[in-house]
Amino acid sequence: MTNVVYPITFLLRETPSQEEIVGAFISIWDETFNNLIVPNLTTNVDGTATVGLPDGVYNAVFYNEGFTFTPIFFHVTGAPITF
């Protein structure tokens, strides 16, 4: 078994202005929402946050006051991902 992790980058932007959302929190959960994998990533001035994750199935949950986000269900399968 290897301990390889792949970079997963989230880019949060407002709709319709496409301005970056700075300071949003992102939590990464397992596929069943039973285990919190990464408690709090925070988007930077570019509206991005990056984390390294091994192959697996995850859910990303987003929070920033004044915004409504939809959680993302995603698979990491041996390659970098950008959302």
The predicted structure's pLDDT at residue 2: 61
pLDDT bin (cut points 50, 70, 90) of residue 82 is confident
Backbone angles phi, psi at 46, to 5 degrees: -90, 0
The rounded Cα 23 to chain-centroid distance in angstroms is 13
**Average pLDDT over every residue of 51-68:** 95
In this prediction, residues 57-66 reach a mean pLDDT of: 96
Average pLDDT value for residue range 24-53: 96
- The full DSSP string for 8-57 is EEEE-B-TTT--B-TT-EEEEEETTSSSEEEEEEE--TTSEEEEEE-SEE
